[in-house]
Structure formats: C-alpha cells, structure tokens
Amino acid sequence: MAQSSKPVNPGLGETARLLRIATYASVATALILIAGKLAAWLASGSVSVLASLVDSLMDAAASVLNLIAVRLSLMPADSEHRFGHGKAESLAGLGQSAFIAGSAVFLVLHAVDRLLHPRALEAVTAALGVMVFATVATVVLLLVQRHVIRRTASLAIRADSLHYATDLLTNVTVIAALLLAQLGWQSLDPIFAMLVAAYILYSAVRIALAAIHTLMDRELSEEVRGQIRDVALRHPQVRGLHGLRTRQSGQTPIVQLHLEFDASLSLAAAHEAADQVENAIREALPGADVIAHQDVAPPGVRTTSGA
C-alpha cells in the first residue's frame, strides 16, 4: 500500500505496545457496544438500531481478527518467513472487508423486509440513550486508534479504524432515524438503515483495495522514494543510483537499490560506503529492510533513475 505520509516511527518495541493497546481497546469497545445495542434493538425493534448492532458485530469479529493478525505480524523473521510476518496485517484487512460487505448485504435484505412489512417502534427514548453512549465510546476509541496510526502507520489498525468511523456515522444516522420516529416518521427507519448499508459496502471496498495494494507489493509513495534517493545521493562517494524498488510488509518498509561508484574505488571501500548508505536509509525509515548493491558508475554521468 502506498503511504501518503511518513509515519513517526517510535521503534519496534514501542510500536508493538501501541498496536496491542489499540487492538485490546477495539475488542473491549466492540463487546460493550454489542451488549448495549442488542438491548436497544430488542426493546425498540428499530431496523436502524439493528443496522448499528450488525455493524458492531462485524467490528468485533474484525477486531478479534486484527488482534490475532497484529500478534502474528510482530513475530520476528524465521527460516520460513525471511521477510517477517508483516503481511498478516494485510490478510486481516482483506478478511475484514469480506465481513463488512456481508453485513451490508444482510442489512439491505432486512431493511427491504421492514419496508414491505412495517412495524411500529417501541422504547425509542431508551434506544436513543444507548446510541448516544455508543457514539461517545466510539469517538474515544477512534482518538486512540488515530494516535496509533500516526505513530505506526499500521494497515490493520487503519482498517479497524475505518470500521469504527463507519460505526460512528451509523450511530449518528440511527440517532437521526430514532428522533424522526418520535416525530411520527417511522417509515424512514429502514431507509436510513439502507443508507448505512451502502456506506458500509463502500468502506469494505476501500479496505480491500488497501490490503490488495500491499499484498501486491505496491511501491511506497513517491515522497518516500524521493527521500530514499536524497539520502543515498548525499553520500560523497555515491555517483548515482538506479533500480530502486520499494514495498511495505506490515511495519517494515523494504528497500532495494543499486548504488553507482567510481571504477577506481576498491571493492572494500564501495562496500563500506554502501553499508553507510543503508544505515542512513534506516535512520530515515526506522525498521526498514535495506539492501544496496554496488555498481560501477558510467564515466562522467551522475544517475538518479529509480527505475
């Protein structure tokens, strides 16, 4: 997945701690919201509340999946996974998109049934109280997740945050539907539920595309690639570079490039300079896996090609 901006990388130990906090908070919030929304739906019979309940059920399933994926992605590289286990995050994101899409279809079917067979809502005031509480709890969780995303750029947490951003919109929509129901517009309840379902499906597509980009080894953003070029060419012995290739695996940016040196430079000196460039790139991209190959520069030409 191409990153739109460079994360403030706090180091692998701190990253692991932040990811665990975000995943545990997500699971706990989902379970609390499910209990409250289930009670509100049983009391009111509102399809909009059911839509929010289903959304929270999907959030809980996705959050548990995230919890497992993050723990797996933080495992160090081994003999069978030399690049680590970072893509477990992307697989989790892909699985989450399937959960979310399925919930959207379920909501549409239930809303259509309610349009065909109308039913009066009950205990609307109690349902409103539950939805306001759910909205506040979701806002608090989103603030925690956004902080973790800024610090780690985790795809799994970003996908989970999209769920809860959707949940926040769902909650506001449900509150509006319940308020309108109190004013006598109960027929709008299933229509609002269908609007929520449409947005849930849109979110599922976004999450799936982000996960697919990472699994397909999409290049990092041009901003990050430009930063890598600048760092490499800053070394006084580097005459140029080519063959720059980048990708993201979980929390690990992977960088491969060819550095060009004067033909008169000894192999040992070129190797030492390449090591220095690799270390400089790791300082710019903490946690990066960097491999720099040494080549002879064309006479009199300074190359900066990233192809």
- Give every CB contact of residue 300 below 8 A, 6+ residues apart in sequence: none
Is residue 73 within 8 A of residue 85, CB to CB? The reply is yes
Q: List beta partners, residue 303.
A: 240
DSSP conformation letters of the chain: ---SS------HHHHHHHHHHHHHHHHHHHHHHHHHHHHHHHHH--HHHHHHHHHHHHHHHHHHHHHHHHHHHTSPP-SS-TT-STTHHHHHHHHHHHHHHHHHHHHHHHHHHHHHS------HHHHHHHHHHHHHHHHHHHHHHHHHHHHH--HHHHHHHHHHHHHHHHHHHHHHHHHHHHTT-TTHHHHHHHHHHHHHHHHHHHHHHHHHHHHTTPPPPHHHHHHHHHHHHTSTT--EEEEEEEEEETTEEEEEEEEEE-TTS-HHHHHHHHHHHHHHHHHHSTT-EEEEEEEEPPTT--B----
Residue 245: strand pairing partners: 256
CB 287 within 8 A of CB 16: no
| CATH number assigned to the domain covering 12-215 | 1.20.1510.10
| Per-domain boundaries in the chain | 12-215, 222-296
Q: What is the pLDDT along the chain (307 residues), one digit of tens a residue?
A: 334 444 445 555 677 788 788 888 888 888 888 888 888 888 777 777 777 787 778 777 776 776 777 777 767 777 777 777 777 777 877 877 887 787 778 778 777 877 777 666 666 777 888 888 888 988 999 998 888 888 877 766 776 787 777 778 777 877 887 788 777 776 777 787 788 778 778 878 887 888 888 888 888 889 999 999 999 999 999 999 999 999 987 768 899 999 999 999 999 999 999 999 999 999 999 878 999 999 998 876 556 655 5
State how far the alpha carbon of 283 is from the alpha carbons of 6, 18, 229, 231, 287, in Å: 13, 21, 14, 10, 8
The CATH homologous superfamily for domain 222-296 is Cation efflux protein, cytoplasmic domain (3.30.70.1350)
Question: Taking the chain, what is the end-to-end CA distance rounded to the nearest angstrom?
Answer: 19
Residue 241's DSSP bridge partners are 259
Angle at alpha carbon of residue 40, lines to 34 and 42, rounded to 5°: 100
The confidence score (pLDDT) of residue 232 equals 95
Q: How far apart are CA 200 and CA 191, in angstroms?
A: 14
